[in-house]
Structure formats: C-alpha cells, structure tokens
Amino acid sequence: MSEARMALASGTRVGIYEVTAKIGEGGMGEVYQARDTTLDRDVALKVLPEAFTADPDRLARFQREAKVLASLNHPNIGGIYGLESSGDAQALVLELIEGPTLADRIAKGPIPVDETLAIAKQIAEALEAAHEQGIIHRDLKPANVKVKADGTVKVLDFGLAKAVTSDAASGSATTSATMSLTASATQMGMVVGTAAYMAPEQAKGTPVDKRADIWSFGVVLLEMLSGQRLFTGETASETLAAVMMKEPDWDRLFTDLPVHVSTLVRSCLEKDPRERLRDIGDVRFAMKGVFGPSVDRLTEQAGPVPFASRPAQLLIAALGLVAVALGLFGWLGQPAPPAVGLTRASISLPPGHALSGGPEITRDGQRVAFVSSDGNGQPRIYTRRLDESELSELDGTEEARQIFFSPDGRWIAFYARGGFFKVRVDAGEPVRLADASTSEGGYWLDDGTILFTPAWNSGLFRIDEDGGEPEPFLIPDRTSSHAITWPSVLPGGREMLFSRWGSGSAQAVMRLDLTDMTESVVVPGHWRRSRFVSSGHIVFAGDGGDILALPNEQGAASTLTPEPVLENVDGGGIDGYARMAVSDNGTLVYSPLDLSKSSLVVVDQSGGLEPVDVPLGTYEQLSLSPGGRRVAIMSNFELFIHDLERGSRIPLVPELTQDGDQQRPVWSVDGTRVIFASNHDGSWRLYSKAASGAGEVEPLLDGRFDLYPTAALADGTIFYEENNDISSDLWYLPPGGAPEPWLTTAAEERQARPSPSERTMAYVTEVSARLEVSIQSIDRSSDPVLVSTAGGTSPQWSPSGDHLYFRNGHRMMVTEVSTEPVLQATVPRVVFEGGWELSDLTVFQERWDLLPDNRFLMVNHEPEAVPTKINVIFNWLDELRDRVPVP
C-alpha cells in the first residue's frame, strides 16, 4: 500500500463495512478483516493502493474486471462480493477465509501424496470453473491458496493480476500488478515469489491464455510433493531467467515419485505452451488415474494410448488426456501396449458464435477448421491447431461455406460471394480461383488440382490449385435430373465417392473408378455427404442424425447393410452437408445434432425482435398465407399449418409422410389451398391440398425432372422451378392447361415471385456466376432489370408492391420499384443485419416471409441451441473397426 495512505484503524468505516483488524499486506493492497453491518457477517477488505486509485482509467478498468470476477461462484474459489468506496479509499469486498496458506504448509516440508491429491484436485476444479467462464488466474501460487481446517481449499485473487495491470491484455512480468504496482511490491521476497510461478510466455511479456495457469499449477503441484522451490534466484530477473531458460533437475525432484506422477507434472511444465496440456479439466481427470487406487485395474483393462510419434502424443495430451492417467508409455518413448477405447474432447466456439460450416480436419489430424457466425450472423473461417488453444480468424473469408483442406493442410478451399477461393491457414488474403454460383462440396487432389462445382447440376470441374481455366471432370447423366456433390477420393487416387442428388433411383452414394471412369452404386437412396476413411470404411450421414458405415469393398458395398457407428451428428439438414470429418490417424471431429431448437420471430424494420408463440422445432421453410394469419411450415420434410392468432397447428399431409418427404409450401391467392412438392412416389412433383387439412391430396404435375412450386396467381396459374439436366428454369402451369416455359436459359433461374398486382415478376438468376435478384414484366414484354448489385436471393414484395425485399447473406435489403414510365428499381439499401435464417442454401430454403404490416416473419435459432462446440474423438477408427469389421 502506498506510504501516502495511512493504515486503517479498527472501527474505521468503509461504506457499510467496519474494520476490525489488519490481517495482511500484498502487492495489490492491504487486507483487513471487517464486519458487514447490513448482513452481519465477517468479510475481508482489500484496500487498493492510492497510486492505483488515483488513475481514473486504471480504476475504471479494474472496476469492470472486478464485476466479471464477482460472477465466479464455486466452493473452491474465494468469492468477491463487490466493490466499496469511502472518500478516496477503494476496496474489494472478499470472502473471509480462515486457515493457513498452502505456502505455510509447504514450508513444513513435502506433503504426502494423498493429501497432495486432495489439495490439487480442488485447485484444479477451481481453475476449471474459472476457465469455463473465460477467466484466467495469472497469479496462481501457494500464497494464493488457503487450506481450511476441514480440508476445503480456496483459491484466492482470481484474475486480479489482469484487473490491476496497466495493459489488460498483457501478460508482461514487468507490468504485472504483483511486481510493479507499488514500491512495496518490489521487495525481493514478493517479486521472487511471484516470478517463480509465472509461465515462460508470461515472463516474456507475451499474451497468455489458460495454459499459463496450467504451468503454475504444475509448479505448485511439484512443490507440494517435493517441499522445495522449483525456480529460484537472488533477484526477480534471475528467477524469471530460470523460468524461461533453465530445466529443473528432474532426476533430483522425481527421485521418490512414481513415473506416472512425474509424467503428469512434466506435461504441465512444458516451456512451449503448444506442447503443454491445454485444459485443466484434463489434468484433473488425469489425476484420478495418476493417484487413484484403480490405476492398475484401469491399465490392465484398457492399456495406454499408443502414440506413433511425439507430435501425436502432444496433440492428444493437449486435448484431453486420460492417457496421462494410463501411463503415457508412448510419451516416454516406451513400447506401446494395445490401444485404449475412445478419448473425447471438445472445442468451444468464441462467445456469441454459432457453427455454420464444417468442421474439417487435416489429414494428419493436426488442425481443425470451421465456419462460425458471429452475433451479426456473419460467417467466417476459423482454424486452430489441436495442440494449441488459440483460434485464428482468417481475414477475407466472410460468407464462407463448405470448406476443405489441401493435402498438406496449409490451405483451405471454400466457396463465398459467387466464387471459389483458397486461403492459407496462417496468413494472407484469399485467392479467387474461379466463379461458382452454388456450393456442392469439393476435394483437393494430391496432384495439385482441385475438384469443385461451379453451379448447380454442373457436375464436377477440375482446376489447378494455382488457378486457370476449369475443365469438366464428371458431368451428370443428361438423361435424368441429378446433381453430383460431395466428392471424396480414396488415398492412392484410384477411386472416388460422390453423392448423386436427384429423383427416385438417381439418388445414391456412388463410387467412381478413376482408372476407367466407371460408376457403381454404393448406397442406393442416400444422398448426403460420404467419405473414405483410412480404416477401410465408407462413412456417411443418415437421415436421423446417425453416421453410418460400410466396409469399402469394390463391387460389394451396395449389397451390405450400413451400420450406425455414431449418433447425434448434424447431418446438414436439407443440404446434406454432414458436419463431420476424420483424419488419416483416426481423429474424428463433428458437430453434435440438435433437432429441436429453432423458433419463429417477428423482426421489425430496425431489426428488433418479437418472439412468436410457437413450440421449438426444426423450422426450415415457411410461407405466410394471404393476410398473414397462418403460416405453412416445413420441418424435417413434413408440412404443418400453424395459426399465428390461435396458436394451433395441424399436419397438412400426414398421409404422405410415411412414403416420402414434402417441402416448398406455397399458398393459393385465396388462402384455401397449399401447393407443395413431394417425392412420395420417387420424384419431386407438384401437389396441392386444402389448407384445412381436409380432403384428398390433388396431383398437379409430374415430369422427368424435379419440380418445386414458387408462387400462384389469382387465376390459379402456378409458377414453379424445374431442375433440369443443365440448370434450374422457371415454368408456369395455367389452370387446365399444359406447362409453359417462363424463363429457360443455361444459367440458374429460381424463386419466381409475382408482385401483388401480378404485373411484375421478381426472380433469382445467375449473373457472372453469382445469384442476383432481377425483375421483369410478368408477360416478359419488358427487358429484365437487375435489382441486386452484390448478390441476392429470396425476393419478397411489400403488400403495396412498390418495395422489393431480398436477402444478401445475412443482410435484409430493399429496393423501390416503379413501372412508369418504364420498369426500374432504386439502388438497394440495407434494412437490417442479423443472424437469423442460418443456412448456406437460402436459395433452396424459404426461411422468411413478409407480414402485411411490413414486418418479417423469420426462423430464429435459439441462442442456447445453435451449435457452439465441436466434439473431438481420438482413436475413433479402433471403435469403427470393432463395430463394422473389414473382411
């Protein structure tokens, strides 16, 4: 405490607290016992130094940090009750904890293993609770740990080192509060004691994360077991130098310790944070085996994890590691016994983010990449090495989707903004390789070329990894309507899997022999993404959240029954983009499935939300009735009619549910019927039914290609999309007449929307390999007018017909449309931005509609429901071989 401020005498009042005694002094201020005169309890007051409180900016930052720290609530964490001021005195109000510090206990000599375990376990639980809230201690040491008479451990001063630092983002040893806050803080004993527990990266002044606490925990653990100081020096600088440069005398320190204990300690004390254990929860879990009485039984049952090389050992150690508890023979370079079962971990997304693409993993299992949307719904690519804790955001990857790695893991290919790109995983701007209006997966080949899909139904094209002119590689059979998606090439380059997405028997997981380009069916009826894995299996997503597997047997797979091998995996919904990937060494990453966590909201013109009283569900498409009282919903390929005023709901076509799927509901102008597409007879065809659910389903139109309704006119004319062998075209079916083309070109045309006057049509078309919104007179007597300028989908007219709304990524756009003297539209402006209607394929899914009052009914993913983590399973191929043996 500053010499300018006198010690507080007994009886001094600080707010509602009455000082009763001085109980300590440290670098962050003097500590007093006081009485809470309101709640009649004893507390500790840590009065901050005058030199600190005299700096308004520093004090304000501290107050903000202290509020965050006060949110920690755990039985092993010393609580922060609040802040109190009296005159120029500022004090933290803390839980009063009786008992000696751990430093006092260590001073008496080594602590027995059982007692060490009990203390260390509680310290680890305290750190784990804080880390889960994003709080790092930064100053863990024996003097900040108290052991009560009943054995309860309390960790003190959580995060205060950061809260009082001049630069809150810095981990610098020369600016940390416990070393330079005041003159008294620079006394030798204080400084050396603090420096002795700093992680090397913290001592260097580089930014720190929770791995710094794991280092400190390792130092404290070893000092408990040995009764000796691990890093020493005559001055703070010497001690810091020892931390950064000197290896402890392991032989001396580990003389009387079991090898499992020394292994755990060393895994916490790797000077390179990339090689250090990453999660304190993994340390706590490992201690069960290291110290527990069942370690021999566990080892006998499971055996230690076999590691082929040190990088693999460090990778697994960094994410989760029961292997420490099981002996870690591979880490120590000893022969590895048989493999254990699964080892699981998870990767949390940044706060407020939701997974919208991926995950993908490099072939060597070292790095994961995924697409994550922030609070504004803007998706970007993030990547992380599995042996590190930091996520890296890749610049220039806004609106990215459907990513995949290069063979060496140094590049990521992705689709975005009407193009196909690549970007380095470490730095640099994305490189545009080609135009691409839609995204149906891709694969980076070992020969330096990349397979991708430039447009829907275009088939696969190949392009050099450095760019150039794309060349056709595999083109769809023009005798039927289907798309070629999700290529996956077998190691060695002799075979390729792909999904054939189409009608009836055309839909299948296919195998392509790359030596003669012959195709064979692997799994008929399935269309979601499939992959080869190095265990000799083919894995793919089923319809119910399962991952299915087959042995990869040439010419025989189609006769085998796929077996479920993993449950509750996000299969990608309607787009089939199964969110899972497997490395060659057997590390599986996937997004867990949550089928019941979206709702409906009304969004006003400023972006304000009003919830709609509907049950949580899987809302994928919606269409408002004329007048806006009812909404047709597609959920899990079933159609429902929901009354927004009464809150009632009925299934529209339950009679078709068992035989197929339904989607794309469109209302008749009078609101009495709903037109929709169904594949219950094998192909997507047009049907209608009374909106009340009564009566029979009426077939409207079938054809050789898939058909999807987009709108209806007052006279009963139905506009629809035909997904033909080249692209998607717009047609119409007049009442009692034959189908007529409305707009058919080699490009994409979708989502025809007539204006309320039925004089003008809005639609989506492909312009320079990008989907844009255009308008044209419905009789096509006028030239088309391009409305959007940087991409657009899902157009909807205002009730008055003078405004046209559409989506551009996660932005709601609007333009003013007039027909006199000629058809024209103003430059679009942004109405609002928001992370609703989460989908890579808004051109296929109508997730919003316009209410009569010009507000928007939209699908909203509940904050607690959107995928916010990626699950990781090591050694997954061992279980895969057990579940589905390969002959």
CA distance 287 to 255: 19
The HSE-up count of residue 886 (CA atoms within 13 Å, CB side) is 18
Contacts of 525 (CB under 8 A, 6+ apart): 507, 508
Mean pLDDT for 401-430 is 93
As given in the structure block, the two tokens for residue 288 are: 């069960």
Q: Are residues 393 and 483 in the same domain?
A: yes
CA distance 664 to 650: 17
248 vs 261: CA distance, rounded Å:
16
pLDDT in tens, 697-737: 999 998 878 899 999 999 999 999 998 756 789 999 999 99
Are 267 and 174 in the same domain? yes
Q: pLDDT tens for residues 479-527?
A: 555 678 889 998 778 889 888 876 555 678 888 988 889 888 888 877 6
443 φ, ψ to 5°? -155, 135
Could you write out the DSSP letters of every residue in 62-76?
Answer: HHHHHHHHTT---TT
Residue 339 has pLDDT above 60, yes or no: no
**Do 521 and 527 contact (CB within 8 A), yes or no?**
no
Q: Report d(CA 513, CA 749) in Å as an integer.
A: 34
In a domain, residue 672? The reply is: no
CA-to-CA distance for 554 and 552, rounded, in angstroms? 6
Tell me, yes or no, whether 213 and 76 share the same domain.
Answer: yes
Shared domain for 368 and 238, answered yes or no, is no
Do 360 and 288 lie in a common domain? no
Q: How confident is the model at residue 292 (pLDDT cuts 50, 70, 90)?
A: very low
What is the spatial distance between Cα 762 and Cα 330, in angstroms, rounded to a whole number? Answer: 64
Q: Which helix (H) or strand (E) holds 80?
A: strand 80-86
- 401 and 262 in a common domain: no
Q: Within a domain: residue 134?
A: yes
Does 410 share its domain with 284? no
What domain count does the chain have? Answer: 2
Q: How far is CA 269 from the centre of its chain?
A: 30
pLDDT at residue 337, as a whole number: 34
**CATH number of the domain encompassing residue 589:** 2.120.10.30
Q: What CA dihedral angle connects 224, 219, 120 and 70, to 10 degrees? A: 130
Residue 855 lies inside a defined structural domain of this protein:
no
Same domain, 272 and 399: no
Query: Angle, nearest 10°, between helix axes 113-132 and 210-226?
Result: 170
The secondary structure of the chain in percent helix, strand, coil, rounded to multiples of 5, reads 20, 35, 45
- Tell whether 475 and 583 lie within a shared domain: yes
Q: Which residues are catalytic?
A: 139
Q: Are residues 165 and 271 in the same domain?
A: yes
Mean pLDDT of the chain: 79
Lowest mean pLDDT among 203-207, 295-299, 609-613, 741-745: 295-299
Domain boundary among 269, 292, 315: 292
pLDDT in tens, 60-97: 767 766 776 777 788 899 888 888 877 777 888 988 99
7 within domain boundaries = no
In a domain, 163, yes or no: yes
| CA–CA dist 331, 338 (Å, integer) | 15
Q: Is residue 779 part of a domain?
A: no
Do 842 and 616 touch, CB atoms closer than 8 A? no
- Tell me which of 247-251, 530-534, 585-589 is least confident: 247-251
pLDDT for 837 = 53
At which of 272, 292, 312 does a domain end?
292
Range of the domain at 541: 356-593+870-883
Could you read off the pLDDT of 770-818 as tens digits, one per residue?
789 999 999 999 999 999 988 888 999 999 999 999 998 778 999 999 9
Question: What CATH number did the domain enclosing 261 receive?
Answer: 1.10.510.10
> Looking at residue 464, what is its pLDDT?
96
**pLDDT in the model for residue 835:** 55
Rounded average pLDDT over 8-21: 89
Please state the rounded mean pLDDT for residues 304-311. Answer: 31
pTM listed for this prediction: 0.48
Look at residue 470 and tell me whether its pLDDT is greater than 70. yes
Which pLDDT value is given to residue 190? 32
SS in 3 state form for 1-26?
CCCCCCCCCCCCEECCEEEEEEEEEE
Determine, yes or no, domain membership for 678. no
Q: Examine the fold and report which residue of 292, 319, 347 is the final residue of a domain before the chain moves on.
A: 292
Do the beta carbons of residue 818 and residue 828 sit within 8 Å?
no
Q: Is residue 430 part of a domain?
A: yes
Is the same domain home to 282 and 360? no
Least confident interval from 493-507, 543-557, 613-627: 543-557
Claim to verify: residue 285 and residue 398 sit in the same structural domain = no
Core vs surface per residue 730-762: b (16+ CB within 10 A) or e:
bbbbeeeeebeebbeeebbbbbbbbbeeeebbb
Cα-only R_g, the chain: 32
Q: Minimal CA–CA distance to 621: which of 796, 842, 856? A: 842
Residue 232 in this model has a pLDDT that exceeds 70: yes
